[in-house]
């Protein structure tokens, strides 16, 4: 475990952080076997962190129960290929939810299942409390596919008007709505330009504009920052935060962890079609390894305390030492005995990237062993 953040906090508060990283199962009672994908439902390796995962009452924005997709591949002799193992997931209204995973993990398949573009092999999903193919629901959702391609013979204004028409936006407010959305995504000056003349960044803005033109409650973005320059990514992030402030729910897939860490209330990690973990970002990045970092003024680790220290770093007078959580009291007592001035005691917080790699790497290793 690397020390990734230096966050001086009160010692008493730091002590309370530990011990909440329990590996709760999302559905403890479920054990029906899903033979096709070779996993036991309810006993997957997905860690569910904190109360926010499944214990919140009220209507969920998205509720997925055992959603599974197996494709038949091949021309003559069809062989089954599992794209998504039975997935249970609940996304609450008003949150930004990140769906993380490497390429080919099953993120887009999940989104396609939720959009009704592909049909599940088994399982169900509800959006805003209704079946996913309900037109009432579809009028309330906006979708930005990965690397969107739109009708390039249309201008940006015509494209948005077309989508607004299909979403049932009243003719009386349609033009005003389109104008407003074009302004919002910064395409006002390109409103009458055909999309075939758009750059990739402009196309992504047009994609976001079409997703929000009908003022949906729930937004699905598939890799919304993909291919954007830093400024474009920042703008998309700002827009997503604005949407959240407006009370909308945003579900987005990404493999850019820094975006997820900066934006999401909760994230789920998926790999090889299987959910590997779900929880609040703050919980996932809190101390899960039971280690703390102690900093004091002194210039070296006293010989009597060396056995407690896992790793230490000296910079001038400042010493930072990584110790096991259960040895923190002994360490603090020892430092006081030595008359050294304690500066801070900080729980080691892993980054989302570290959490992600921990969740994803074991299966990558086993995949490598199989091949």
Partner 1 sequence: MKARIGHIASNTFREAVRDRVLYNLIAFALLMSGAAILVGQISIDIERLVVVNLGLTAVSLFGVVIAIFIGIGLVSKEIEKKTLYTVLSRPVRRWEFIVGKFFGLAGTLAVNTFFMAIGVFAALLYVSHQFQASDGWILVALYFIVLQFLIVTSLALLFSSFSSPLLSAVFAFSLFIIGSFAEDLRGFAAMAHGLGRWLATGAAYLVPNLSALNVINSVAHAQPVSSQLILANSVYALLYAGMALCGAVLIFERRDLK
Residues that bind partner 1 (CB under 8 A): 71, 112, 115-119, 135-136, 138-139, 141-145, 147-151, 153-154, 162-163, 165-168, 207, 210-211, 214, 220
* Choice between 145 and 279, CB closer to partner 1: 145
Cα separation, 119 vs 70, in Å, equals 10
CB of 72 to partner 1, least distance (A): 10
CB of 297 to partner 1, least distance (A): 59
* Choice between 135 and 316, CB closer to partner 1: 135
* Choice between 196 and 336, CB closer to partner 1: 196
Q: 97 with 266: CB under 8 angstroms?
A: yes
* Choice between 116 and 290, CB closer to partner 1: 116
Q: 233 with 208: CB under 8 angstroms?
A: no
* Choice between 6 and 153, CB closer to partner 1: 153
CB of 356 to partner 1, least distance (A): 27
Q: Encoding tokens for residue 298?
A: 């002194």
CB of 162 to partner 1, least distance (A): 6
Q: Encoding tokens for residue 204?
A: 């992504």
* Choice between 182 and 348, CB closer to partner 1: 182
Cα separation, 8 vs 142, in Å, equals 42
* DSSP symbols for 64-96: EEEEEEEEEE-SSS-EEEEEEEEEEEEEETT-E
How many CB atoms lie under 10 A from the CB of residue 233?
A: 20
Cα separation, 14 vs 330, in Å, equals 16
CB of 354 to partner 1, least distance (A): 34
CB of 44 to partner 1, least distance (A): 24
Query: Which residues fall within 8 angstroms of residue 343, CB to CB, at 6 or more apart?
Result: 8, 295, 296, 297, 318
Cα separation, 264 vs 122, in Å, equals 29
Identify the bridge partners of residue 91 per DSSP, sorted by sequence position. 62
CB of 158 to partner 1, least distance (A): 8
* Choice between 69 and 276, CB closer to partner 1: 69
């Amino acid at each position: 475990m690397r020390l990734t953040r230096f966050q001086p906090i009160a010692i008493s508060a730091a002590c309370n952080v530990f011990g909440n990283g329990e590996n709760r199962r999302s559905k403890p009672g479920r054990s029906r076997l899903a033979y096709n994908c070779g996993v036991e439902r309810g006993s997957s390796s997905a860690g569910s962190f904190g109360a926010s995962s499944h214990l919140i009452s009220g209507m969920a924005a998205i509720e997925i129960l055992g959603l599974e997709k197996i494709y038949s591949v091949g021309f003559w002799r069809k062989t089954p290929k599992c794209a998504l193992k039975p997935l249970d997931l609940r996304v609450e209204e008003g949150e930004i939810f990140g769906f993380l995973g490497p390429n080919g993990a099953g993120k887009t398949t999940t989104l396609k299942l939720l959009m009704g573009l592909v049909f599940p092999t088994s399982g169900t999903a509800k959006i805003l409390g209704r079946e996913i193919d309900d037109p009432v629901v579809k009028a309330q959702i906006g979708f930005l596919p990965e690397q969107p391609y739109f009708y390039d013979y249309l201008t940006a204004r015509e494209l948005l008007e077309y989508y607004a028409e299909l979403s049932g936006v009243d003719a009386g407010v349609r033009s005003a709505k389109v104008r407003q959305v074009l302004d919002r995504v910064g395409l006002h000056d390109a409103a009458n330009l055909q999309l075939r003349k758009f750059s990739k960044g402009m196309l992504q803005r047009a994609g976001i504009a079409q997703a929000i033109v009908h003022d949906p409650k729930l937004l699905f973005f598939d890799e919304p920052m993909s291919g954007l320059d830093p400024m474009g990514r920042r703008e998309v992030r700002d827009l997503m935060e604005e949407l959240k402030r407006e009370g909308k729910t945003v579900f987005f897939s990404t493999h850019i962890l820094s975006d997820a860490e900066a934006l999401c209330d909760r994230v789920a990690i998926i790999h090889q079609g299987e959910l590997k973990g779900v929880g609040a970002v703050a919980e996932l990045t809190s101390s899960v390894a039971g280690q703390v970092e102690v900093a004091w003024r002194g210039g070296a680790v006293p010989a009597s305390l060396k056995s407690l220290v896992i790793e230490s770093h000296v910079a001038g007078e400042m010493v930072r030492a990584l110790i096991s959580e259960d040895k923190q009291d002994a360490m603090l007592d020892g430092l006081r005995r030595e008359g050294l001035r304690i500066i801070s005691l900080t729980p080691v917080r892993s980054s989302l990237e570290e959490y992600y790699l921990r969740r994803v790497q074991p299966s990558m290793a086993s995949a490598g062993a199989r091949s």
